[in-house]
């Protein structure tokens, strides 16, 4: 039985295809890690004050319940959030209307490697915004976990 030896061109194409597949698999694994938050803080809060600026939204609230037992009930916190994109503008208006009426909301702050996101949930409406600045809870949780 004669042996068939693949041509050098075929071997080069096969090696290049395997290298591309390995590169894509490596990027996919790293991108999945970047998608997962490093730390997640959750609480139920009672809004005290909110203000909508030109490109930001200020939310001041009191913690009613928190997943971190070190955060006491009634602890004040303030989040300065970037304004919504056009895609999430409708959801943001619904959440903001609930906040303005004083309805309790769930706040979830996710710390990613490159950014912080806040998920605000009120009356069944959820919006995700970028965090520009946090004071009180969850900032105190980050400082405590850093040591």
pLDDT grade for 44, boundaries at 50, 70 and 90: very high
In a domain, residue 43? The reply is yes
In a domain, residue 74? The reply is yes
The pLDDT of residue 107 is: 94
The pLDDT of residue 3 is: 65
pLDDT grade for 143, boundaries at 50, 70 and 90: very low
- Top mean pLDDT of 1-10, 25-34, 126-135 is at 126-135
Q: How many domains does the chain have?
A: 1
Rounded Cα–Cα distance for residues 136 and 54 (Å): 24
Q: Is 34 helix (H, G, I), strand (E, B) or coil?
A: helix
pLDDT grade for 115, boundaries at 50, 70 and 90: confident
User: pLDDT: is 11 or 57 the higher one?
Assistant: 57
CB distance 59 to 99 below 8 Å: yes
In a domain, residue 13? The reply is no
pLDDT grade for 1, boundaries at 50, 70 and 90: low
Q: Supply the range of the domain harboring residue 130.
A: 39-146
For 78, the enclosing helix (H) or strand (E) is strand 76-82
In a domain, residue 28? The reply is no
In a domain, residue 114? The reply is yes
Q: State the average pLDDT over residues 7-29.
A: 77
pLDDT digits (tens, 9 = 90+) for 52-102: 888 899 999 999 999 888 889 999 999 999 988 787 788 889 998 988 888
In a domain, residue 11? The reply is no
pTM for this predicted structure: 0.66
For 130, the enclosing helix (H) or strand (E) is strand 125-136
In a domain, residue 16? The reply is no
In a domain, residue 34? The reply is no
């Amino acid at each position: 039985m004669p042996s068939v030896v693949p041509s050098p061109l075929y071997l080069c194409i096969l090696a290049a295809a395997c290298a591309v597949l390995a590169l894509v698999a490596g990027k996919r694994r790293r991108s999945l890690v970047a998608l997962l938050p490093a730390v997640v803080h959750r609480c139920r809060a009672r809004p005290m004050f909110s203000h909508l600026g030109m490109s930001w939204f200020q939310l001041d609230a009191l913690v009613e319940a928190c997943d971190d037992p070190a955060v006491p009930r009634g602890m004040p916190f303030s989040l300065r959030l970037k304004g919504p994109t056009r895609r999430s503008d409708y959801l943001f208006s619904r959440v903001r209307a609930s906040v303005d009426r004083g309805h309790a909301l769930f706040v979830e702050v996710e710390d990613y490697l490159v950014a912080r996101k806040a998920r605000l949930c009120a009356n069944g409406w959820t919006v995700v915004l970028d965090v520009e600045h946090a004071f009180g809870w969850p900032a105190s949780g980050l400082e405590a976990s850093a040591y």
